[in-house]
Chain A
Amino acid sequence: MLDFAETPATDLAVQPSLKRAGYRVLTTVVSTGSGTTGRYTIYLAPGTSS
């Protein structure tokens, strides 16, 4: 299994490439608890399952 976690800027930059390569979004996590909001996306590599 190849997972991929991201922060927003790079997420937007690499997302098209990942989708073209067959990655699919497993879940997206929005962080809370501090003054800064973070969004993490976990991808599954092609051919793997959760």
Chain B
Amino acid sequence: MSTGGQWIRPEGTRPLRRTPTATLPRLEPVGAAPDAARSALPEPSAVRRAGLWTDWAPLALVLVVQAVLSGRLIGTNTAFLDEGTYLYSGHQELAHLLHGHPVAAYQTFFSGAPVIYPVVVAVADHLGGLTAARLLSLAFMLSATVALHLATRRVRDSLSAFFAAALFAALGPTQFLGGFATYDAMALACLVWAGYFAVRAATGGGWGSLLVAALAMALADCTKYASVLWTPVVLGVAVFAGTAGGSWRWARWRRGFGLLVLWLIAVGVPAALAGSSYLKGFDTTTLQRQAGHDAQSYVAESAAKWIGALLVLALAGVLVSWFATRRSAPAARSEFWLTLVLLLGGLLAPANQIRIHTWLSLQKHVDFGAWFACIAAGILLARTCRLLRARNRTRVWTTGAIAAAAALAAAVVLPLGWVGATQGTDMFDAWPNSTSFVAALRPYVHRGPDQYLVEDYDVPAYYLRDVSDWQQWHDLEAVDYTVPATGRQLSGPRPSRPRSRPTRTGSWCSTSPRPRPPTSPCSPR
């Protein structure tokens, strides 16, 4: 805004003073229009301490709802193939680490380091069985919601943080991952905490926060290799979050480059120490991941079903941010670039899986990007809430603000949560209960020389690990056989697999040939 050729700093871009009553919410400028003043971000020095009623209570409410929505799923089905795989392999890895017992070469075909999540979840399983393993995932997902709230509050304000957290908890994939004992929840949690520390680094946290962000990001990448897809998003967050100068100021980009270098070191050192078998597994499962046969329209439709509404909100947030900041100071315009990066983060998983024609694991992967998109969507809903609040010269959490927030939550978040709850239930019902199968098989399984050929054996092997050794189980993906007469070792993958089959929900699961599953041919992977 210029007056007589003189640049006038928008009201909202002025550094906010830290008051003695630091827990009070910041005062809002007059008027409801989303003008440049409203688009401004808090200066690093203005990041205030979280308040009980402005931050922690609303966040606690969201966490309780999320815990209920995910927790109700935990006991509704037996272990899925992937859960059995990670639990079963984790017990082997643990026995290898503690007692030197032999272990299969999981690193050659797992899409994450077998010494990280499988070991962690095996400890949980040892303590409380499958329920404890799934509760561990719930803890990871709840921590992701906390990280989302903290990050959004630093980027914008408490109201935006509440909406962002509520949106994330409402999503079906979030509810599903919160009850599903695979490495996804842990990898997602590590990734999003990296995102939070990237925001923190940009809002007064300094290089210490950058270091933690790099370590968390590297841990996410090692836990699940596909997490590396969102590394550019975290780097973008580190660049564009905060208000320290214009979007193209060197200080911002130095922060991004600094994080990149730290991350390269943090992920490069373990990669170098891990050895060629790990690199082979990374290459096979992630870099050279085989393309599927699913129609691109089907992949896009599925992604739209799970996070489409969120992406529309995030897109609207980007457009509103652009309109709101197009004539404001360069520092304020960084919000537009930040929301754009966050939206792109939400689009990454669908775009990548549309590219390789595969629906597999999409319902889990979309949640990684959804975390980022929720920040942009939360900011939009908070803006809208202020519009609803009209010309009210009061603090954020007045009666009027609460009524406006409640109305918005009822209009947007609750329907999303309702749909998400149905989706979470459907996702957890996508595989058959194996109780009767395991019970029928148990009398025939004994530790010893007998060999068992079972398609996707990990589930019975997990449930029957007390009466068998892992060397006794074989599947149809690859066969090792020693010819008794000659002693010749024969091995290799099976030549073909059935094309596909429908699940109860009517979706089709690709079962194209692949090395040996860290993941299943059907549904969640």
Chain A interface (Cβ < 8 Å from any Cβ of B): 1-10, 13-14, 26-27, 29-38, 40, 42, 50
Stretch of B11-19, B218-226, B338-346, B450-458 that contacts chain A: B450-458
In the complex, whether B460 has a CB less than 8 A from a CB of chain A is yes
Hey, which chain B residues are within 8 Å of A4, CB to CB?
453-455
Stretch of B191-199, B203-211, B322-330, B428-436 that contacts chain A: B428-436
Interface string of B289-302 (1 = CB under 8 A from A): 00000000000000
CB–CB B433/A38 < 8 A: yes
Q: Please, how many angstroms separate the alpha-carbon atoms of A38 and B433 in the complex?
A: 7
CB–CB B436/A30 < 8 A: yes
Q: Please, how many angstroms separate the alpha-carbon atoms of A14 and B495 in the complex?
A: 13
In the complex, whether B440 has a CB less than 8 A from a CB of chain A is yes
Number of B residues contacting the other chain (C-beta, 8 Å)? 35
Given the interface pairs A2-B452, A3-B452, A4-B453, the reply to whether A35 lies near B440 with Cβ below 8 Å is no
Given the interface pairs A31-B435, A34-B432, A38-B434, the reply to whether A8 lies near B501 with Cβ below 8 Å is yes
CB–CB B437/A5 < 8 A: yes
Hey, which chain A residues are within 8 Å of B498, CB to CB?
9-10, 13
CB–CB B440/A27 < 8 A: yes
CB–CB B432/A36 < 8 A: yes
CB–CB A31/B501 < 8 A: no
Hey, which chain A residues are within 8 Å of B78, CB to CB?
33-34
CB–CB A5/B435 < 8 A: no
Q: Please, how many angstroms separate the alpha-carbon atoms of A9 and B456 in the complex?
A: 13
Give the contacting residue for A34; candidates B76, B451, B454, B511; CB below 8 A.
B76
CB–CB A10/B476 < 8 A: yes
Give the contacting residue for B441; candidates A3, A8, A30; CB below 8 A.
A3
Chain A residue nearest to B501 (CB atoms) is A9
Q: Please, how many angstroms separate the alpha-carbon atoms of A26 and B440 in the complex?
A: 10
CB–CB A3/B433 < 8 A: no
Chain B residue nearest to A11 (CB atoms) is B455
Q: How far is the CB of B97 from chain A (nearest CB, A)?
A: 30
New A-B pairs, 13, CB < 8 Å, besides A6-B455, A31-B432: A3-B441, A4-B454, A5-B437, A10-B455, A13-B498, A26-B444, A27-B440, A35-B425, A35-B504, A37-B432, A38-B437, A40-B434, A42-B444
Q: How far is the CB of A50 from chain B (nearest CB, A)?
A: 7
Q: How far is the CB of B513 from chain A (nearest CB, A)?
A: 13
Hey, which chain B residues are within 8 Å of A29, CB to CB?
436-437, 440
In the complex, whether B512 has a CB less than 8 A from a CB of chain A is no
Give the contacting residue for A5; candidates B433, B441, B451, B504; CB below 8 A.
B441
Q: How far is the CB of B84 from chain A (nearest CB, A)?
A: 13
CB–CB A5/B454 < 8 A: yes
